[in-house]
Amino acid sequence: MPLAIIVGGFFGDEGKGKIGSYLAVADKPSIAVRCGSINAGHTVSFGGRVWRLRLVPSFFVNNTTRLMIAAGALLRLDVFFKEVEETGVKNRIRVDRNAGVIEERHVEAEKSDAFLVKDVGSTLQGVGFAMADRVLRRLRLAKDFDVLRPYLADVALEVGEALDRGELVYIEGVQGTFLSLYHGTYPYVTSRDTTAAAFASEVGVGPKRVDHVVIVFKSYVTRVGGGPLEGELSPEEAEKLGLAEVATVTGRRRRVAFFNLALARRAIMLNSATQIAITRLDSLFPQDKCVKEWSKLSREARSWLENLERELKVPITIVSTGEDVLCTVDRRKELGLWW
């Protein structure tokens, strides 16, 4: 069984939570590890319920998957315990001993930084200042908090041993490639690298252990906050086209543009992507809402996907056609990429 990383291909908001929750149900992995921090939200819709998560992995919907938070991640105690209670995963979630902890002083510092507030459009969750404290070796870690003691684990070791036993492991990345501190639209980026290699490093697995990188693209591009967005539509145009969205964490309106092939090609290169997942197909082709088989997609939708696959030269294996986990087309068996 492989190790696979899920990564966002644009500026976040691609629907990684939907893809992760679908793969949880379809593949029933042994372990799923969440990277990043609370400034990235993943939405999971399943069985008539909706969860908006910032720390618990989207894979929680499979009740046999062990859930973990990576050493390179940052958590906030109130968010962690709230989500653990909401999802009922107390007995199967673990936090790496070296994961960082955001404190109120980090949040207040970020709110008082005019550049982050007005220019960058930070989510104001304290993540940037906590990351700065980590670099300066001042940040308190999960192992420093008694309240987290029952949840502590050596995540790198547990993942390594699971892979040695031939078990399936997923790493759940956050945000998007072009919010990367190194490869994104600096300075309008987040405070960490957001590519697949960085997520592997956060967890503690070497590059030779990664078998697949599933890059997630929405059928159009969105971003929140400042920074360039080529071909940006006006709010009125986005509304008229049915592409208007609100961000999971901040509640801010997302900026919108049509699918960008040049960005997608670069994201594939930066992440060594082996598979593509497309979300929100039903936003472009409403007639395909919750279609679950490739052959039953409209001719227009299939043509759009096939053209995209030719242009990007990476197989499109998973297509989301609705918010619910089960509204998904899965082509992996057909394409010989099932594990």
Residue 59 covered by a domain: yes
> Residue 225's closest CA among 151, 299, 124, 296?
124
Average pLDDT over residues 201-226: 96
Residue 172 covered by a domain: yes
- Position 42 scores a pLDDT of 86
- Position 114 scores a pLDDT of 67
Give residue 273's pLDDT band: very low, low, confident or very high (50, 70, 90). Answer: very high
Give residue 107's pLDDT band: very low, low, confident or very high (50, 70, 90). Answer: confident
Residue 335 covered by a domain: no
Residue 289 covered by a domain: yes
**What torsion, rounded to 10 degrees, do the Cα atoms 183, 184, 189, 191 define?**
-10
For residue range 289-304, list pLDDT tens digits in order: 999 999 999 999 999 9
Whole-angstrom distance, CA of residue 170 vs CA of residue 217? 18
Residue 338 covered by a domain: no
Residue 144 covered by a domain: yes
> Residue 250's closest CA among 33, 39, 57?
39
Give residue 179's pLDDT band: very low, low, confident or very high (50, 70, 90). Answer: very high
Which CATH number is 103's domain given? 3.40.440.10
User: Does position 101 have pLDDT exceeding 90, yes or no?
Assistant: yes
13 tagged catalytic? yes
Q: Say which of 27, 42, 288, 324 is annotated catalytic.
A: 42
266: left (phi over 0), alpha (psi -120 to 50) or beta: alpha
- Position 122 scores a pLDDT of 62
Give residue 116's pLDDT band: very low, low, confident or very high (50, 70, 90). Answer: low
Q: Give the pairing type, strands 316-320 and 275-279.
A: parallel
Give residue 39's pLDDT band: very low, low, confident or very high (50, 70, 90). Answer: confident
Question: Looking at the 3D structure of the chain, how many domains does it have?
Answer: 1
Residue 337 covered by a domain: no
Q: Give the pairing type, strands 255-258 and 220-223.
A: antiparallel
Structural domain boundaries enclosing 60 = 3-330
- DSSP 3-state assignment of 171? strand
- Position 57 scores a pLDDT of 96
Whole-angstrom distance, CA of residue 54 vs CA of residue 236? 30
In one-letter notation, the amino acid at residue 239 is: E
Peptide bond into 286 cis (omega under 30): no
Residue 293 covered by a domain: yes
CB under 8 Å to 222, separation ≥6 — which residues? Answer: 10, 11, 13, 243, 245, 254, 255, 256, 257
Average pLDDT over residues 15-29: 97
For residue range 235-253, list pLDDT tens digits in order: 999 988 989 877 666 667 8
- Counted residue by residue, the chain has a size of 339
- In percent, the amount of the chain with pLDDT more than 70 equals 95
- Position 330 scores a pLDDT of 98
Whole-angstrom distance, CA of residue 217 vs CA of residue 224? 16
Whole-angstrom distance, CA of residue 129 vs CA of residue 133? 6
42 tagged catalytic? yes
Average pLDDT over residues 253-278: 96
Q: Can you give the pTM of this predicted structure?
A: 0.94
Give residue 306's pLDDT band: very low, low, confident or very high (50, 70, 90). Answer: very high
Give residue 319's pLDDT band: very low, low, confident or very high (50, 70, 90). Answer: very high
Whole-angstrom distance, CA of residue 127 vs CA of residue 37? 7
Mean pLDDT for the chain?
A: 93
- In percent, the amount of the chain with pLDDT more than 90 equals 83
Where are the strands (E) in the chain, listed by range? Answer: 3-8, 31-34, 42-46, 49-53, 66-69, 74-75, 93-96, 100-101, 152-153, 169-172, 212-218, 220-223, 255-258, 275-279, 316-320, 328-330
Give residue 29's pLDDT band: very low, low, confident or very high (50, 70, 90). Answer: very high
At what angle are helices 104-111 and 127-135 packed, to 10 degrees?
110
